[in-house]
Amino acid sequence: MYGTIKHQGKKLAFSNRIKLIKPSSTMALTSKANEMRRQGDDVLVLTVGEPDFDTPQYIKDAAKKAIDMGATKYTSVDGTPELKEAIVNKFKNENNLSFKTDEVIVSAGCKQSIFNMLQVLIDNGDEVVIPEPYWVSYSDMVVYAGGKPIMLETTYQNNFDIDITQLENCLSKNTKLLMINSPNNPSGKYFNTKTLTDIAELLVNNRNIFVSSDDIYEHIHWHEEGFHNILNVAPGLKNRTIVLNGVSKAYSMTGWRIGYAAGDSEVIKKMKTLQSQSTSCASSISQAAACAALSNECKELPNMRAEYKKRHDFVVSQLNQIKGVLCKETDGTFYVFPSFKEYINNHDLTDDNDLAMKLLNEAKVAVVPGSAFGMTGHLRLSIAIDMKSLEDAMMRIKSLLS
Ligand code: GLU
């Protein structure tokens, strides 16, 4: 089934590269759950990380205006000058980071920026250190670039924090990149300035390693410290750090597909070369919308964040009422990542995949198994769904599992 098609009795093979990766589980499970809904099944979809709020009106208005003004053509590969300027200002005002416009590229979603970055930096056999649990696409994107993911374990007991000695043990002469995602999808862990400083100190002595800082959940964050990334604590790492971000999560703009990367101008230039040979540029209309999102105060953002936190508090307390389930409070994101290890061990279940299927088939609640994020025995539940549906989901899960 995989690897070839048949044509007039002959086998035609796909590339070896494509055989190495699998479909994104978040996307696959979401389409499965949505398909069940279309068939009439009353499924509650807690799979995909996609805000349930509408895109704020001022952003939609900017897109409509762009269409009417004729901004419907190709833009420059790396983004419109207006959006790039808005991104530079965003970095200055929100992150206290200084980038020039030739150090920034706009892509069709943060996902494309990450993909481009890996294609530009990683060669066959290069090692990429990824803290576990990690967002589903990290490891497959590394493999597709020819790299070797080196998983850095974290534990529920240690609050999913990075252990510096363990990180040091993951480094070798082949290490090319360390991928940081904070607040983390799926654990909701924010790596605080102490952890970031320790990581930076280790990297000072390992000068041939790049770092990527995926800040996509920056604004969905309630850790007391406020948001910081590795460049805030270690400006000396600037020319080998790539900061990745986008408007999808903060401004509820997933379908608009606008993400961006900032880093050394030579790295960005290469990402631009690659993009010029693939998608050319992100949608001109979405770029105008993203420019409005970043250039104006988004009054809806604090309300969305407060609502996520309210849902988070509710879901954490509900899940902890189930015997054999442990759910930590997160520092941000719209996910919770409870451990069902004890529950699975005490019941007739093989693993988290088995449990996720049971929840889907018997409770009609769709979630993503932790193993998709490199951590078995856990489930990821997205709380980017209205409170009434969440209450229903919790009731279904509790009555099935209690
Ligand atoms: N990042 C989101 C998630 O983890 C969106 C889906 C995806 O691209 O994986 O659910």
Q: What is the DSSP string of 27-91?
A: HHHHHHHHHHHHTT---EE--S----SPPPHHHHHHHHHHHHTT--S---TT--HHHHHHHHHHH
Identify the sign of the CA torsion 141, 144, 145, 150. positive
Residue nearest to atom 9 of ligand 1 (CA): 26
Indicate the average pLDDT of the chain: 96
Question: Is pLDDT of 1 > 70?
Answer: no
Pocket flag, ligand 1, residue 48 (CB < 6 Å): yes
Angle at 327 between CA 219 and CA 111, to 5 degrees: 40
Residue nearest to atom 3 of ligand 1 (CA): 49
CB atoms within 10 A of CB 293: 25
Question: Is pLDDT of 101 > 70?
Answer: yes
The residue whose two tokens read 């990149």 is: 177
Whole-number percent of the chain with pLDDT over 70: 100
Question: Is pLDDT of 110 > 90?
Answer: yes
Pocket flag, ligand 1, residue 111 (CB < 6 Å): yes
Q: Which two tokens stand for residue 97?
A: 């980071």
Q: What is the mean pLDDT of residues 17-44?
A: 92
Residue nearest to atom 2 of ligand 1 (CA): 49
Question: Is pLDDT of 378 > 70?
Answer: yes
- 155 CA → ligand 1 middle, Å: 22
pLDDT of residue 297: 96
Looking from the CA of residue 185, the nearest atom of ligand 1 is: 4
pLDDT in tens, 279-304: 999 999 999 999 999 999 999 999 99
pLDDT of residue 6: 87
Contact assessment for residue 334 and residue 220, using Cβ atoms and an 8 Å cutoff: yes
Pocket flag, ligand 1, residue 333 (CB < 6 Å): no
pLDDT in tens, 195-204: 999 999 999 9
pLDDT in tens, 241-266: 999 999 999 999 999 999 999 999 99
pLDDT in tens, 335-377: 999 999 999 999 999 999 999 999 999 999 999 999 999 999 9
Main-chain phi, psi angles of 151, to 5 degrees: -85, 130
Residue nearest to atom 4 of ligand 1 (CA): 49
Pocket flag, ligand 1, residue 30 (CB < 6 Å): no
Question: Is pLDDT of 207 > 90?
Answer: no
Main-chain phi, psi angles of 246, to 5 degrees: 180, 180
Question: Which among 127, 121, 126, 189 is positioned nearest to 157, based on CA atoms?
Answer: 189
Contact assessment for residue 291 and residue 93, using Cβ atoms and an 8 Å cutoff: no
Q: Which helix (H) or strand (E) holds 311?
A: helix 300-319
Cis peptide leading into residue 133 (ω within 30°): yes
Looking from the CA of residue 49, the nearest atom of ligand 1 is: 10
- 181 CA → ligand 1 middle, Å: 13
Question: Is pLDDT of 216 > 90?
Answer: yes
CB atoms within 10 A of CB 299: 9
pLDDT of residue 205: 86
Question: Is pLDDT of 2 > 70?
Answer: no
Q: What is the mean pLDDT of residues 32-57?
A: 94
Q: Which range, of 34-38, 97-101, 176-180, averages the lowest pLDDT? A: 34-38
Strands 148-152, 127-131: pairing kind: parallel
User: Distance between CA atoms of 375 and 336, rounded to whole angstroms?
Assistant: 13
pLDDT of residue 10: 87
pLDDT in tens, 326-337: 999 999 999 999
Residue nearest to atom 1 of ligand 1 (CA): 49
| Largest pairwise CA distance in the chain | 64
10/79: higher pLDDT: 79
